[in-house]
Structure 1
Amino acid sequence: MSTPKRPAAAPVRAAIYVRISSDRTGGGLGVERQEADCRDLAARLGWDVAAVYADNDVSAYSGAPRPGYLAMLDDVKAGRVQAVVAWHTDRLHRRTLELEEFVALAESHDLQVQTVRSGQVDLSTASGRMVARMLGAAAQHEVDHARERMKRAKVQAAKDGKYRGGKRPYGFERDGVTHREEEADVIRHATKAVLAGRSLRAVCRDLNAEGHLTSGGKEWGPILLRDVLLRARNAGLIAHGTANRAGFEVIGTAQWEPVVDEDSWRAVVSLLTNPKRRTNSTSSENRWLGSYLYRCGRCGAVMRADSTAGPGSNRPNQAKRVHYRCTAAAHLQITQERTDAYVREVVAERVRDPRVVAALTAAKDSDAATADHERRTALAARLAAFEDDYAAGHLTGAQLARATATVQAEVEQIDARLAARVSRSALAPVLSSNDPGKAFLDAPLDVQRAVLAAVLRVEVQPATKRGVWWSPERLTLTAVGE
C-alpha cells in the first residue's frame, strides 16, 4: 500500500522592490537592471514574484514620498506578499528610523527578506536584526556625510554666486555672467508674452519668423523655450535642479544681473509648471476664443468648441459649423461665431473703461503683494528647518512629508497670487494703448483669451424660445471679481 503524498507547499509570494536615486536619462535603466537581478534571485529561491514596486529617480533620504515603497508596505500588512527581494539593503532604507519601522513590520508579519548583493537579511533573530542595523548605520553615515557635503556645496555656491561652467547659457556670453543683449531681450519678450496669455508655440512661431535662433543655432520649439524661461538664472538666482522637476531649490543670489525680475520669473514658473495647464497643440483651446473659458449655465462645467462635418459627397453645399458644447454632458450648445463676435465687442468696450484698466494695471508692490513676499520668505525658512530636523533624526520620513506638504501648499497659493498680479501687469501692451478696445481686437487670439479671462466671466444659458438658437440674452456676462 503506497503512502499518500503530502500536498506541495504553496510557493512564497514575493515582492520585488527597486529604486534609483537619480535617473539622469529618464530611461529607468537602473531599476530595470535591479529588477532583472531580483527576478533571477527569486527564481533560484523558488519564490513567485507577486508584484514589483519601483521608485525611479527618488532618493531614500530626501524626504520625498516613495509611492512604490509605501504600496509594498501596505501589501505586506494585508498579507498579499510574504517576502521582499531587493538588490541591496540600501535600496530599501538609508535611514535608521525607517529601518526600525520596517523591522517591526517584518517581525509582526514573519516577513522574509533577501537581497542580491547582501544576501539574506534574517529579521526574525536578534543576530539578524543586529546585522541589519549595522548595515543601516553604515548607510545612515553615508547619507549624513553626503548631506554635509551637499550643504557645504550649496552654502559655498550661494556665497559665491558664480557661474559653474558648461554650455553657454542662452542670454549670456561665454563667461555665463555678461548679458548678450539681443538674446536677453528675447527672454524678456517671451516672459512677458507667456504671462500675457500667449502660448509657447505661438511665441516660438514669432521668434522663428523674426530670425531668432537658440544658442545652438537652431529654431525654437515649445519644450526648449519652456526650459529657457524656467531657468532661475534669468532672475539672477543660483538654484539646484530645474523648476519643473522634484528637488528644485533656490539656494542664493548670483553674481550676474537678472534678465527679468524675480516676480516675473516666479510667475512664469507657476504658470508653466501648473499640472492643469493644457499642452495639447491640436486642442480647440488654441483656435477659439471661448474654449475652456465659457461656462455651461446648466451645470457650471467649462465648454469647448466642436465642429460639425463640412461639405461631403452627399452634402456638397453644407458648410462647416462650430459650436461650443458643455464638456460635462450633451445638454447645452451655442454657435461659436456669433457668440465670440458678441463677447469680443463687450470685452473691447470694457477695456476702454479707465476704471477697468486701472484695476488690471494696479502696482505689483501693493501692501498685499508685500505681505505675500514676507510670508513666502518665512515659509521657506520653515521648510529648511524641517529638513534640518529630518537630518538630525527628529522627524521620520512620513512626518517630514506631511509637514512639507502642508507648508508647500500655502507656498503654492502665494505663488499663484503673485503670478496673477504679474500676469495682469503683462497685459499692459493692450491696456496702455491709446485705444485699448482696438488693441484688444487687433491682438493675437491667445492674448485676447488672456484679456477675456482677466475681465469677464461668460456663462451660456439654455435657449428659452423655440426656434431662436442664439440671442444676447443667452449670455450671462459678469465682471471678474464681482
Structure 2
Amino acid sequence: MDSYARLSRNQKGKLEKCETQHADNRDVIERLGGVLGEEISDPKLSAWNPRVHRPGWVRVMKRVAARACDGVVLWNTDRGWRQSPDLEDMFKLIEGFDSFTVASSHGRYDLSDYNDRYQLRQEVAHNQRNSDEASQRISRRFDVLRRKGVPHLQGRSFGFPGLDRTVPKDEAMDADGNDTREPVSAALVERERVALRAGTSAVLAGVTQVKLSEEWNAAGLRTVTGGLFSPTKVRDLLLRPRNAGLIEHEGEIVGTMPGEPVVDPVEFERLRALYAGRTRGRQPGLRYVGSGIATCPRCGKKLSGRPHVGEYPDGERRRQYACTKARGGCGRVAADVRLVDREIRGMVLARMSDKTHAAAIKAARARISDRLAEVDREIAECEQRQEAIAAKWGARKMSDKAFDRANEPLVADLARLEAVREELTGGNPEGPTEAMSREEAAEKWDAADIGEQRAMLTDALGRDTLYVDPSDRTGFRTFNPKRVRVEPYQPGPAARPTAS
C-alpha cells in the first residue's frame, strides 16, 4: 500500500509535516497487515483548488492505474480529495479491480464494496462543503478589507515593502515551515517609488515603454523576483491602481489605501485615460528611418528594423530591414540598414529638389482638400467625444467597463478615419509645396534626427510606395542599389507588385 502525505494544517492551525503523516500512515499499513509500497509527498497547502498542480498525487493515480499498489493510505481523506469529481476519477481507475483499499487514521474503505464507496463519497462531499464554506468566508473577509483600504497582495510588489522575493519561497522554508526571507530595505522601496513617479510622468510626456524599460534596466532596477524589465512589464506596473492608493476589484474602485499614494492620483488617471485611448499594435520606433514605411514587394507587409550578426567598421552592431514571419510577412526580404538608408537619402534629396514632384504633390492635395477637410472634421469629433468620456472616467462618474464600451467604437472609427487620411495625404498632411535646392535638402536631412528623417521620407514619397526587393543571391554578396525602388501610386485596385 502506498503512503501519501500533503503538507497542510491541522484543526489547530499548525502545520502537519509530511514526515509525521507518513509515520502515522505506516502504522495504519502495519495494522492492516499490508506492506509499504512508496511514500509520496506534495509540499503544497491546497487540495481543493483545481488549478493547483500536485505532482505527488498525479504519481499516486498513475500507480493505481498501473496496478502497482493495492491501496492508498492518507493521514486524512481531505489530503487527497476535496472535490467530488476527483474521487470519481479514482473510481473509474479501479473499475474491474477485485479489491482496492483507501485507508486513513480514521477509517478504512474497500472500494469494491458499493456501501464503502457511498460512505467515502459522503466524506469527500463534507470536505468539499468545508472548503466552499472557507472560500466564501475568506472572500467576504477580503471584501471587507478592500473596502477598509487594505489590499490583498500576493507577496511584495514593486514600490512597496515586504519580504525579498528574489529568493524562492520554497527554498526559504525552514524545517518548521517558516519563511526565513528578510524584508527588503527601505532605501530600495523608495528608489522604486521614485521610478514609478518618474515613469508615470515620462509616459505622459511621450516617452515610450521601450525607452523606459531600457533606462530602468541600465539603472540597476529589477522586478521583485530579480528579472529584467520588458516594455510590457513597465506598462503593467505603471497601470496598477495601488500606485495611486486605489484598490480595484473586478474593474471597479472599491477602496482607498491609507497614507500618501506613491503616484499623484490625478496623474494616474491621466495615464489610464492615455492608455485607454491607444489602439493595439506596435508603433514604428525611432531607430530606423524606413521601418514601417519600406514595403516587401512579395507579400506587401511593411519591413521592420532589427539587429543583425556582426559589426560595422566603426564598431556599431550591424542592423537590417527585414520582412519577418513573426509579423505576418513572408520572411524572404532582408537588407543592410546603412546601405538601404543611403539609397533612401538619395531618393529623398532628388525628390525634394524636384520642382515637378513638389508641384504634383501640391496639385494632388488641392484636389482632395474637400474630402480631407471632412475627414479631419470627423476625427476632431471622435477626439472630442473621447475627451468627454475620459473626463467622466477621470471624475469617477463612469466605471472602467462603461468607459471601455464607450471608447471602443471611437477607437475603431479613429483608426478607420486615420487610415483614410493616410491614404489621402500620403502620411503627411502638410506636405511640400515648394522645391528646395539639393544642397538645402541634404543639409536638412543630415541635421535631422530619425523622427524628422522619417517625416521627410514620407513627405518625399507622397502616395508612392517604397519597396526593397529581395537579393538575387548570386555571385559575391554585394548590395545592389536597384533593390531600393519607388513604385508610383496607382488609383483604384491594383495587383501586388513583384520584385524586379
- Larger RCO: 1 or 2 (CA < 8 Å, sep 6+): 1
Q: TM-score, normalised by structure 2?
A: 0.44
Structure index of larger Rg: 2
